[in-house]
């Protein structure tokens, strides 16, 4: 939604830009999915994924998707969600992989940006990772709301504003107001 009132012309231009970005994102996603299907047939990529499942999958009972996500989390040293050639090579060497990391990187880097995202590596694992991250975001937001409520409750009890709680809580009624 447009943040402040503007003329119809500006709103119209904003909507066009927004629709163009949505189309571009949809086209990029479609391209990646089609390219991903092509590299799913790549035997070297399959072997790498199998290696990663075996190497990082014990905690996940060697289930393919959670194991690949666990491997990705470890490989993504800086936590930005993407691996550059240096991160990729170092992570695979550290994991004990002895294949051609440069060729694999180029095969997997579908958009040619010089970095690999989990969505380029394995779309199913990427969807699993996205759901997990959404759950984590929701939990952080819920915790922040609870802390905010507790702080408001504490502030309401601090009648002296010196950081001391002097009021009595009777049957928890005052506390219930904040929940």
What pLDDT, in 10s, does the model give residues 66-103? Answer: 889 999 999 998 888 899 999 999 999 999 999 899 99
Q: Say how far apart CA 53 and CA 148 lie, in whole Å.
A: 41
What is the pTM assigned to this prediction?
A: 0.55
Q: Say how far apart CA 61 and CA 59 lie, in whole Å.
A: 6
Residue 11's pLDDT band (cuts 50, 70, 90): confident
> Computed from CA positions of residues 120, 135, 57, 127, in that sequence, does the dihedral angle turn out positive or negative?
negative
> Computed from CA positions of residues 42, 61, 74, 137, in that sequence, does the dihedral angle turn out positive or negative?
positive
**Residues 17, 9 contacting (CB under 8 angstroms):** no
Which of 8-12, 56-60, 154-158 is the least confident region? 154-158
Residue ranges of E strands in the chain: 82-84, 115-117
Instruction: Say what the pLDDT of residue 163 is.
Output: 62
């Amino acid at each position: 939604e447009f943040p402040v009132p503007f003329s119809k012309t500006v709103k119209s231009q904003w909507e066009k830009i927004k629709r163009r970005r949505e189309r571009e994102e949809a086209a990029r996603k479609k391209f990646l999915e089609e390219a991903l299907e092509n590299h799913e047939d790549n035997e070297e990529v399959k072997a790498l994924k199998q290696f990663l499942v075996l190497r990082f999958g014990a905690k996940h009972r060697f289930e393919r998707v959670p194991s690949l996500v666990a491997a990705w989390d470890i490989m993504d040293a800086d936590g930005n969600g993407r691996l550059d050639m240096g991160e990729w090579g170092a992570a695979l060497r550290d994991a004990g992989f002895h294949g051609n990391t440069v060729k694999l990187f180029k095969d997997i880097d579908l958009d040619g940006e010089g970095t690999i995202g989990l969505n380029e590596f394995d779309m199913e694992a990427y969807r699993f990772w996205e759901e997990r991250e959404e759950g984590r975001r929701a939990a952080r937001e819920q915790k922040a709301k609870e802390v905010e409520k507790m702080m408001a409750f504490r502030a309401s009890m601090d009648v002296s504003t010196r950081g001391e709680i002097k009021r009595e809580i009777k049957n928890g009624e005052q506390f219930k107001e904040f929940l």
